[in-house]
């Protein structure tokens, strides 16, 4: 899959201003050792203000949940896209992130005619698009997408914690915290773990400990 680099300047400014339905796109979950990567696409309604829009990483979980409800209620359109653990391991995390973004954009009704994407690369999209480094803090539509992506993924990982107990997914939502790494070493990987990520791959490739002889040492 080809990559489109960050482009700035007047080339993109005029189409963005002329867009009737501008979508912000952002992702959550590129870094974790477990779970899908999630993207959101949001077309905000310029007639409806939403208080509290900013980078989701600068908000508490409660603040994100409150603002996410306002986004879903006030936006012209919003959609979520996911790429599974299997797709992450098969494609790599960058291409899986692009796939989730494509799915999110495709889910918008009505469709967008321009997209702003957080980061420095734009996935192949069916509409003109611009990448903005730090866009989740500077562009309201991207901020909204970052909040929806983060709240959706966190809720998903909390729900999956009940299906895969012992790893603490409800606390760390798949990130490589000391608690998660300790549980991973103790329990081994489950189906939610990304085999292509180094800490998980290292455990899978580690030699097995020699088994104790049955019945203990011989006399």
| Helices 140-163, 61-74: crossing angle, 10 deg rounding | 120
Delimit the domains of the chain by residue range: 4-151
Tens of pLDDT, residue by residue over 35-88, are 999 999 999 999 999 999 988 989 999 999 999 999 999 999 999 999 999 999
- What is the fold, at CATH topology level, of the domain defined by 4-151? Nucleotidyltransferase; domain 5 (3.30.420)
Is the N-terminal amide bond of 55 cis, ω within 30° of 0? no
Separation between Cα atoms, residue 73 and residue 86, nearest integer Å = 33
Q: pTM value?
A: 0.86
* Nearest residue to 1 (alpha-carbon basis) of 100, 67, 75: 100
Tens of pLDDT, residue by residue over 27-36, are 999 999 999 9
- Please report, rounded to a whole number, the percentage of residues in the chain having pLDDT higher than 70: 85
Q: Find out whether 12 and 115 touch, Cβ atoms under 8 Å.
A: no
């Amino acid at each position: 899959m080809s990559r489109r680099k960050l482009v700035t300047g007047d080339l993109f400014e005029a189409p963005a201003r002329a867009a009737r339905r501008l979508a912000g796109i952002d992702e959550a979950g590129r870094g974790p050792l477990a779970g899908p990567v999630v993207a959101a696409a949001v077309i905000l309604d310029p007639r409806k203000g939403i208080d509290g829009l900013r980078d989701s990483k600068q908000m508490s979980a409660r603040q994100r949940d409150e603002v996410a409800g306002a986004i879903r209620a006030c936006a012209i359109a919003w959609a979520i896209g996911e790429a599974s653990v299997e797709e992450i391991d098969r494609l790599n995390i960058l291409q899986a992130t692009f796939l989730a973004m494509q799915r999110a954009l495709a889910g918008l009704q009505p469709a967008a005619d321009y997209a702003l994407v957080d980061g420095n690369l734009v996935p192949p999209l069916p509409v003109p698009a611009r990448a903005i480094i730090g866009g989740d803090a500077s562009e309201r539509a991207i901020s909204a997408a970052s909040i929806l992506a983060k709240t959706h993924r966190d809720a998903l990982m909390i729900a999956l914690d009940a299906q895969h107990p012992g790893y603490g997914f409800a606390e760390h939502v798949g990130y490589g915290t000391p608690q998660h790494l300790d549980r991973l070493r103790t329990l081994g990987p489950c189906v939610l773990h990304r085999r292509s990520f180094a800490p998980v791959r290292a455990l899978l490739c580690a030699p097995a400990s020699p088994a104790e002889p049955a019945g203990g040492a011989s006399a």
